[in-house]
Structure 1
Amino acid sequence: MTRIVLLATGGTIASRTSAPGSGAVARDGAGVLRAGLGHRAAGVDLETVDVLRGNSFAFGPAEQRAVADAVRAQLARPEVDGVVVAHGTDTLEESAFLVDLAHGDPRPVVFTGAQRAADLPDADGPANLADAVAVAASPAARGRGVLVAFGGSVFAARGVRKAHTLALQPFADPDAGAIGAVRGDAVAFWARPDRVLLDPVDARFDDVRVEVVAAWPGADAAPLRAVLDRAAHGVVLVAFGAGNPTPGLTSAIGELTAAGVLVALGTRVAAGPVAAIYGGGGAVDAGAAGAVPLGRLGVAQGRLAAAVLLAQHPVEEAARRLAALASGEPAAP
């Protein structure tokens, strides 16, 4: 029988409201999630492990590492065929990406969650969890990296983003789209994601400070210069269009890189890559000043990758490896 391990970390899928007006809070453990599946896990030996019990907007690097370490521990067991992680949707894209960065094992790791709390009559958690178990147990999922199963669709972890606050399908990959689907117990794939692995990625990045600064029309150099005052190790600059900051922001990039701060260049646009097209303070000049374009990596995943790399390498090497990761090409040794 196929053996799948369910790791519970909290999130909406485990949340209930204790009193009117108090808000939903993660309360259910892995055993409760398993019981909610009923017959939908028939034919699978489903183990349960409690890792965390929180809402993912409160997760920091320590919690992200706890998730990654728990996955790694289960994959160290040869009898395990796959892992499912029940996780809050707010930062699921970061946790799934962190695991994916070094997941060279062919066995599936599948993240899922819910948009409606467990004590609501129309809770979507059990259906999403059943789909995730089906994906993790499917031979077709092997070798596809970390996956996200939600709302009947399957996405590669790299590139997935929470694209809607409340919809029952909150996730999207604006560039690649879904790579598979679940219909009942049937799992189908039509794409195999390209992946670049970082090995190892188990360095502690708790103390690595990578900030996010967003451009707005007329923004001057002050927001980036403030990063120096806060002793940040890196910053993701969320620019316009294909990665164009304002001239004022661009003027400060060289100051930061000269001071040993990694500057990554992202975009506020949902789809498409960062690309060096415009001068006049745009992405061409930002790159010339030392900014690393994030390519198709979203801001959240790009920030996480920068933090992981800065925890393991000097800033110049971290920047080189981030550029390779963003371009989809392995970094040369």
Structure 2
Amino acid sequence: MDSNTFIPQAFIDKMINILPEQLNIDDLLSACRRPLRRAIRINTLKISINAFKLIAQKHAWSLTPVPWCKEGFWIDIEDESIPLGNSAEHLAGLFYIQEASSMMPVAALLSHFQPNKTSTLLDAAAAPGSKTTQLASATNNQGLVIANEYSSSRIKMLHANIQRCGIQNVALTHFDAAVFGQWLPNTFDAILLDAPCSGEGTVRKDKNAMKNWQQSAIDSIALTQKELIKSAFQALKPGGVMVYSTCTLSLEENQEVCHSLQQTYPEQVDFLSLNNLFEGAEKTLTEEGFLHIWPQVYDTEGFFVAAIQKTGFVESEPAKETIRKIPISTYTSNH
């Protein structure tokens, strides 16, 4: 238990008002102050689950299955002399260090969409690459995964993780994800939008994650999230499936973002229930069929996952081409 974890009173008061009746605030705060369980996802592009379990036995690594991801395991290590991230197996890309609830969005997408060798998928906010590599592994390097990241400082890590994991069907792009609806309307078979958020659910791995928590910041980022989900929905093919996820708890960044999309496209938005995603999913299932993951329920980070199907064509504004002057200098050879 870490009593130094900063949890603002305004956040506590807010959570009291939105917690489901079967949960209580003391359990939430206690969970937020506990260290996060370490988890990994086996990279089946490079090794089978059974073969990795044999390696784990040799290292005395204890593996406990993550219910919603057959490749995912919580891991306990006896010998901490070599950090897990520096192990030969990690450096070789045999596994990816990934928080357990972070594995849920891709699992949710795959529960309603079966990729094939002609599928085109978009990971709209991809860095550092945990969900991109999970998608690529699930497709067995077939089809095409566009991994987009807006933050230039994070693209190197995304690229490094893709290379380390032996990914061959991913193309990197560097755009504001809000452009996809205009530039590539009705293009993608499936889309994962793990949206930038206030990160309320990450306090277990960063005790200062809520040091600058403000309601005004949540209201502001929710506006960005609504823009991103609308653009992603426009870029989705009719009949396609999109998963919207965050690592935060506030309704404004989760349910209300999905409701805003449905209000914009009432005839084309169908919320797909995640009640059968894994045994115990009903403990965090909302009335819409979303999963609102409270940290104390599965002993994970806080998370939110929604699956949405596009049932028909929607209009998007045509892209406005901008002509930029490209500097050209004459090259004169001295030879």
Which TM-score band (shorter chain)? Answer: under 0.3
User: TM-score, normalising length from structure 2?
Assistant: 0.28
User: TM-score, normalising length from structure 1?
Assistant: 0.28
| Structure possessing the higher relative contact order (Cα contacts under 8 Å, 6 or more residues apart) | 2
